[in-house]
Structure 1
């Protein structure tokens, strides 16, 4: 069935292309200069998302405000090709086409967030989506510009911390929202102003929530596991250590606050600015994910729910993460008065990150990451055949885990990368070429250094059927160096309930990605000519793919399952499609779907060839209305059963998720204001994400409503 559905999705891509092609044949050509007003920063060459050969999605404006949530993964979960690797309510990391963690780079205004989210699935990204101006998602390899960690994609969160213009008057916005899913209250403010050449900016956010409400039991019990446990412990006294809860996920309450300040000097040729941000986030790891050996006297069965409630009433919070980060950024841009050179831009960021894993109120392992990154880019355009960019990127990360349960040895990682990107047009054709050379050196506190030389090459060819419609084919070769945790991990990680073993002899990954795409978006057209289509088919061959394999063994001391990092050749392939049809009376209908499959090349006795924790096939529709003062959207998404979870992993059931959003725009004391409401999971489905390591312990929230008000002044 899965193969049939995947084929159907690919056929839908081709069909949607034909429909859009026919519709656009009668449409008038749009002005490309108008599109330049919505340039994306993931391209240094000032290109709009609609003209970039690689599949790029931009979440901004009202769409971002409706989707914004406590975690980045939850915010982007409805985007094409993006899933959420949740770890309770406090953690949600984006999964792009089955890739996450060390293959998907999360950026803060084009610089690495440099936190610890890629070292473990329970570590939250140090990003506040509620403060974002826009979020750019690049699906597919982006290592050419952003380095080794972007071999699977990029999520770039754009904020306004460093002003690039001087406002004519003081401007800002305030927002308050409440979510019944976890009784969350959140408040956000932004303020900006300036005079002469000086511009300033302030923002802040505070959010606090209780436990996540769910439809049923938190911990999912598998019959086959129960039978296995009964046989394995025959003749022995066996005790259930897990806390199960009914109607909520225990220990998922959280509290976070963040604030930023920025200052810039702006001229007609460019700007230079500085900002500082402080983030504090305290969140719980769901009960049941970690084993308390001292609690072996706990009863089984129905008494577990009462024990879990008593556990929380007495302040025993299980495992919590207490995160604090201070980030400093410097950014500048200068336009040349030259016929060849266009402009030079530079970024410098320093991040002082730390979090402590707290068990039952007592501090445990402390993770720190003191990192800095700098990048300089120069673009040129002589008005002739070629235009392009040259770039240099330098970074250092000083990472440490200190404590009794520190499973990764401290290390310093240095990287240096240089790249060039070129493009030219002739007739209806557009060609993009690029190359990157990068060195990565990892120096552990004890043991031998690891050095890697990485080469990246990319090419993309587009054929424009019309100004607003193109076909594309791209071929990218990229390499990724193993990171410190993949090389040097060795120990039990309480929050994940895993014993993790690295391999110092890991080879670098090498990826060869082929992509075919079709894009149609005529924003100036009306009626059926305004149909918007995006369709992509991709094949990604990754040699020496690095992953943490579930060995099926158990560490005797911690009683955790043992996961070992290893190299294994793999292939990822799939399709994505989205078609938006304008209907009468301000209505529109969107059909969408995405699918990714991945398997290892070799066969190992007793093990599956399927790559673990991949998102299932998803498809659905969205019906919306856009009127003078208000708009709404009804979105229905069906995710199929994931029957190929990987070796020693559990499958997940299918589900259908129904969401409804609405907002009303009005004037309040002469200022623009909006009241919004988002109803999520209206069918109250039990949703367990196949991408989540925590899927058997913490399902997604049940039926909920989020409502709020936002005022611009």
Structure 2
């Protein structure tokens, strides 16, 4: 594998790296981002924002959110087999990255454990916004690393003139996945309605070679050779060749919404139902049972015959997740006619989430999360150059894990946050200011309550070198309260194959993030002046950083991970440059990097923060013609040899993809034929950000093709 020099990549990435906002061939129109309450265009937002929409989103959309976003700058995929993929933004994930459904928390259990999928269907997304860096001022302490906001149009904001919709069918050879999607919207008078749905089903994920990689260093992490030999036998028993066992899945989701629309605003309501059943790759849990234990018991209908080739009946417990969620949302907006107040927005969401861990088809631990969240925002224009917003956010989450392998006790978390954001322009300068006060109360079932008072503040200064070109410098102070699992976990989590120990004496995190950015985008220009350039460097100092430390010890034959506070520093860079060429062709250079280490040194241990993304660089060539387009894309990832204490390094890889689409008209309706060939080199790709990297690599060479009808 090619090895990169860190400094060289950092410098090169500033001069050249990935597709940044929206689509490089998008029409000349302003795209406002919802992650800003002031309806600012994406090109004017000081924070680094990527927008994935339209054809670009359809090309990238996959079964998981992490896989959908893994090619965006500064974003990696924390995969856990084919059923789970969570975004990692600049090395931050889980409780530091907020996943939103139309600006409200998804309120599932994805931040509790790496094997829990986000309750979002990317195939239904209308647009995905990625805000890199702290966004805690608007969204709370869970957004200190970044925000992923998925909008789906379930609550219409306007009445369509006629019924509009789309139907899509696609097939992926990587796991024999079939997916179908539909969405329709219409209305009459002041009433607008919306419906959508998705169904997808897949078999085991095909890979090049063996699923489980064996390391020769196991003996260093255990006290005696006998256990190391047992671990090798365990890996061999669960290993599969050419596919990852127990990674088949089936999911479906349906939504309906209705709105009453007036000249000054709207009020709407939606309901969504999601069911998702997916497997945890074999080998991640170590308990076996005798034939008698499961005699006469039925196994899950999804288990494949291939598993029986690798172990006799009764030897393997195939762990699956059976997820069910019903979500209700209310959304309203009122626009004022006065000179000062601009708009009042209201969002209320209730989520009833549950998933059961099925152990060889038998119900095991049950996770539930009953959550309310409400958000009120009002914006104003003072008329003297100052614009601003005030907001109030309230959340109430009742979380529980019940069963023989529950590693965390039930708890209730309530928070209240007030924030304000201000901006002003004068000449070529633009100033953004913000502040937030938040109170978080955590009430566990048996332990003592924990309360945290959090303060956040930010300031960003932009200087516009020209109308379509600016530089920016921002500083943010953010604080994050520990969550229930970090405080109170105590038990074996078999799906992750580790023993978790919480710490109810954890302090809150406090971080200072500095960011320098450059933006150039002028599609109305000609030649090289139409190049789109995005570049940013960041430095993030986090005091009392909370992480699950691999202690090197064992409990119940599982490695012990204990939550602890430890100061850490994150820094990195990401950039992209797209050059338009003649005949509708273009070339894009892209890359990103992040480096993270603990500020203090522990004798005999690595000071690197574990599970960081590797250095990445790449090249994309493509073209957009009248009816069709294509793109060839290559990404080179370096070895990740800064794995952290008691963690194994990850090899680099080269991933090459090719995609194309053809637009045509059928019976007066638009249709798009699309196809993508991914991982053309059939590389063995193991994500360094994943706990499961040694058990479940990314899919091998595959082809996805489909058709989309637009009415």
Contact 2:28 2:524 in 1 (8 A): no
Residues 31-50 of structure 1 mapped to structure 2, 5 A cutoff: 35=29, 37-50=30-43
Residues 259-278 of structure 1 mapped to structure 2, 5 A cutoff: 259-278=254-273
Contact 2:3 2:639 in 1 (8 A): no
The equivalent of 2:125 in structure 1 is 132
The equivalent of 2:541 in structure 1 is 541
Deviates more, 1:522-531 or 1:189-198: 522-531
Distance 1:202 1:316, change over 3 A: farther
Cα distance in 1 between the residues matched to 2:698 and 2:318:
20
Distance 1:623 1:314, change over 3 A: farther
The equivalent of 1:438 in structure 2 is 438
Of 43, 51, 65, 2:44 maps to 51
Cα distance in 1 between the residues matched to 2:231 and 2:426:
73
Q: Aligned pair 1:241/2:239, yes or no?
A: no
The equivalent of 1:484 in structure 2 is 484
Cα distance in 1 between the residues matched to 2:370 and 2:638:
42
Q: Write the deviation string for residues 4-35 of structure 1: whole angstroms up to 9, x where unpaired.
A: 73322443355469xxxxxxxxxxxxxxx975
Cα distance in 1 between the residues matched to 2:493 and 2:605:
24
Cα distance in 1 between the residues matched to 2:544 and 2:3:
26
Cα distance in 1 between the residues matched to 2:460 and 2:390:
18
Cα distance in 1 between the residues matched to 2:436 and 2:466:
32
The equivalent of 1:457 in structure 2 is 457
Deviates more, 1:584-593 or 1:319-328: 584-593
The equivalent of 1:375 in structure 2 is 375
Q: Give the count of matched residue pairs.
A: 688
* Unpaired stretches in structure 1, ≥5 consecutive residues: 18-32, 298-304
Q: Write the deviation string for residues 231-270 of structure 1: whole angstroms up to 9, x where unpaired.
A: 5218998872230000000000000000000000001110
* Unpaired stretches in structure 2, ≥5 consecutive residues: 18-26, 293-304
How far residue 230 of structure 1 moved from its aligned partner, in angstroms, is 10
Deviates more, 1:225-234 or 1:475-484: 225-234
The equivalent of 2:163 in structure 1 is 170
How far residue 583 of structure 1 moved from its aligned partner, in angstroms, is 1.2
Cα distance in 2 between the residues matched to 1:693 and 1:228:
17
Distance 1:16 1:364, change over 3 A: closer
Of 684, 687, 694, 1:689 maps to 687
Q: Aligned pair 1:559/2:557, yes or no?
A: yes
How far residue 135 of structure 1 moved from its aligned partner, in angstroms, is 0.2
Cα distance in 1 between the residues matched to 2:489 and 2:190:
50
TM-score, scaled relative to structure 1 = 0.94
Contact 1:245 1:308 in 2 (8 A): no
The equivalent of 1:590 in structure 2 is 588
Cα distance in 2 between the residues matched to 1:589 and 1:541:
35
Distance 1:92 1:14, change over 3 A: closer
The equivalent of 1:29 in structure 2 is none
Deviates more, 1:577-586 or 1:218-227: 218-227
The equivalent of 1:147 in structure 2 is 140
Q: Write the deviation string for residues 206-232 of structure 1: whole angstroms up to 9, x where unpaired.
A: 000000000000000012226877952
Cα distance in 1 between the residues matched to 2:153 and 2:483:
31
Distance 1:312 1:484, change over 3 A: farther
Residues 137-536 of structure 1 mapped to structure 2, 5 A cutoff: 137-225=130-218, 231-233=224-226, 240-242=233-235, 243-294=238-289, 309=309, 311=311, 318-536=318-536
How far residue 444 of structure 1 moved from its aligned partner, in angstroms, is 0.3
The equivalent of 1:658 in structure 2 is 656
Aligned-partner SS, 1:223: coil
Cα distance in 2 between the residues matched to 1:411 and 1:192:
40
Cα distance in 2 between the residues matched to 1:630 and 1:237:
56
Distance 1:98 1:34, change over 3 A: same
Residues 31-110 of structure 1 mapped to structure 2, 5 A cutoff: 35=29, 37-110=30-103
Cα distance in 1 between the residues matched to 2:53 and 2:477:
31
Distance 1:639 1:15, change over 3 A: closer
Q: Write the deviation string for residues 264-320 of structure 1: whole angstroms up to 9, x where unpaired.
A: 0001110000000000000000001111243699xxxxxxx9875355989966100
TM-score, scaled relative to structure 2 = 0.94
Cα distance in 2 between the residues matched to 1:503 and 1:228:
24
